[in-house]
Structure 1
Amino acid sequence: MSSTEQPVRVEYVTDPAAAMSSLAAADRFGEYVMYEQPDGWVFAADPLGGIELDAGELRTTWAGETTARAWSGSPADTLDAALASLADLSGEERGAYGWIAFEFCAYSLDVTSYLNQRTPLAQLMIPRIEVRIDGGGVRVSGATPAETCDIHDLIAASQGAVLPTAHPVDVRPDVTDYQGRVAAAVAEIQAGEYQKVILSRKVALPFPVDVPATYRLGRANNTPARSFLLRLGGLEAAGFSPELVASVDDARVVTTEPLAGTRAFGLGTQADDAARADLLSDPKEIVEHAISVQTSFAEIASVAEIGTPSVSDFMAVRERGSVQHLASTVRGTLAAGRSSWDALDVLFPSVTASGIPKREGVDSVFRNDHDPRGLYSGAVVRVSPSGALEATLVLRAIYQTGEGAWLRAGAGIVSQSKPEREFEETCEKLGSVAPYVVRG
């Protein structure tokens, strides 16, 4: 146990989401990233240092001192090296948390002409305080004794608290001509320019949002693969991620979980079963899923030991809040000489949030989505001191900056797509968050 780590105080936490929302809402611990994995929850806060990467500059901060410089090459390699430099400054390997914007992919796919020098690409932070909740209770590290008592008191007070009241949002107005943009993309696909693209639409909210409260209410009504809540670099966000972009564990096993093919869920047993049967028999959805799995397999194979890539749970159906998806898992063992960041570089952005082929699909996104995506369809990232990495796909989320709050959702467009059906799919996906927005 380190000198700053406090003894474990075992508590039975019945509602970890309420505990994490309470810590975020308390506003006592600086910037933070909360991340939920299947085996537990972590609230990482009060950065000791951090990394900001945009298209024109890399900024690293440690102990209040910031260094800025130009960079070139791969943004994944740049972040990997910057984390190593912070480890040198701190004298030890530390975990990192943060986010990666969709535009991060422009370098590996050679479509940087759409970016300007100030386009944000990534932000990571090294926390002073970490609060972990799992089956063993609550563990606080890095905090002072007074802060530790405060943290336990906040968690205890959060248990059994009444859920916040929502201010549901109307997501049906098509103010960005989504259906028209889908029709244009279908024409490009039918002309042979690419096979698939995920186009999205932004829904601006007419009021400021209480993001921690929205997270708590939304988490009570969603079934995500991962979830997150953050305030970092001027951005607040909360989301209920349906899939992993990339995971590399301590055994160097690389995993990605492409989800493609969607129907509504939560409308009652009979309607859900009918939608599931329709999903499993719809040629458009099956084709969309199959080519996504094929692409993910090829990407993992490019960084994995020969013979190790495999597909499991092919075309399983997984429920994610207000929708159900066709899902598969693709794995391989990272080849010698390859790093976790190499794996993320080839798998990012998720094929289910970009297009096929990826370069042409991303080019279509930049042309047809009109405004930068930022965190939408990017990733929230957690890097362990050992170098293991997990990046979860940012969808089914809410975003807020000083300029306002918004939601965003997309759909996979292929040659058989119908604009009205793809618009309806965005409404179904927005239904995972829009009914649970809490006004600030």
Structure 2
Amino acid sequence: MQKTLKAVSFAACLFLAASLFLAGSALAENAFKIEDMSDMSDFDPNNFQNPTGDTFKIGLLQIFSGPGAGNGELFWLTTAWVAHDINKRGGIMIDGKKKLIEVIKGDVMGKPAATKKAAEKLVLEDKVDVLWGTSGSHLALVIQNVAERYKVIFHQSLSMSDSLMDEKNFNKYTFQTMWTTNQVGETTAYFYAQRKKEKKFYIICQDYLFGHSLADAFKKGLAKYYPEAEIVGEDYHPLFAKDFAPYLTKAKASGAEVIFTGDWMPDGGNLVKQARQLGVDLPFANIFIDEPNSLAAIGPEGTKGLVNLNQHIGDKNNKNGMAFAKKWNDLWKDKWSAPYNTLLYKWPGGTLGYALENTYWMLDVFERAGSSDPEKVIKVWEGDVYYTADGKRLEMRACDHVTIRDTYATEYVYPNPWFEEISSGDEVFVIPAEKSMPVKGGECK
């Protein structure tokens, strides 16, 4: 019996070794290779020319008009960048032929009805192969329903609600690469638990579903990782508030050591600016207060000590990541004109960074599927593992189509490697994926 067990064990080891070798080889292929990147020196987002003919079409759903048009401006840049790079490489292999990437805009206008109309036009008239977007979980849900109805892949890349991929809302055509509110909450709590410096937190968030959900996720994260920490107060303000003094005064009086906020711009920038004007020098733990143009109005001293939690933060010590960033920054310095010549677009970090890496991943999945047939794409993307330009590991959980990944934190300092006008991150702290997992939804339970 002992000999038999040894023989079986030896055979099992050989099988395991072979399996790991094959898996490693496969994973090595599912990666962005900086050496394969095209010469981007001729890329200009203001003059991107869509190819014609039999193309692979991305339907870019964003706000392209009205007060929120800056969103469309930003994500046009990232999507056009990826398309330009892939097109100069010859396109992607789809249904037996190389196809160039075409990007077609769909203006959601920040409204559910407009979102539905734009998504249906992209699918029914423009015949796009994939829908990409969008900011706002209520709008993303509209697109999910369109994707399911017409059986087209939706790359849900910008909305964070845990409910989007829960048992009720999940559909097999939607894949979420954006991190979730639960991941934000656990990332923040784990970072401060490891830091063991501050224990008293005050929450200031926007008074709508996302603000409350994010605050709840942070409180749950503290209970899990940092039970000795204390929430000394919390407030929720209207969107686009003008006066933050009542909330900031209470936060200062509470004895808080950190203010946690999910405020996005312009609220986030105004919150910090008014805090400094009122003499409230508390640090803000945040996910959106990293927009350089807004921070420049506050200056280096006022932005010191901000702690940004994110799914993409530039790392000066990452060789491949910096090689990619240099290609981008060289164009920003020498070629791009308004609106792409402001501080916001100087480096491909934060929102720009994860939009880029997730779009490269999506196109890589389609090419490996060898088809725009949604059923074939689903089989490839479910359970897929992909490595980004700077070596981040992204995994698409098969049972609910949400992304498992490391997350990051950085404390803003001055001077820093990125900006002369503001404080920004320097040292990057990694929160392992297993410490900030998305809530299980879809078909996981």
- Which category describes the TM-score, using the shorter chain as reference length? under 0.3
Task: Give 1 or 2: higher helix fraction.
Answer: 2
Structure 1 length as normaliser, TM-score? 0.27
Return the index of the structure with the highest Cα Rg.
2
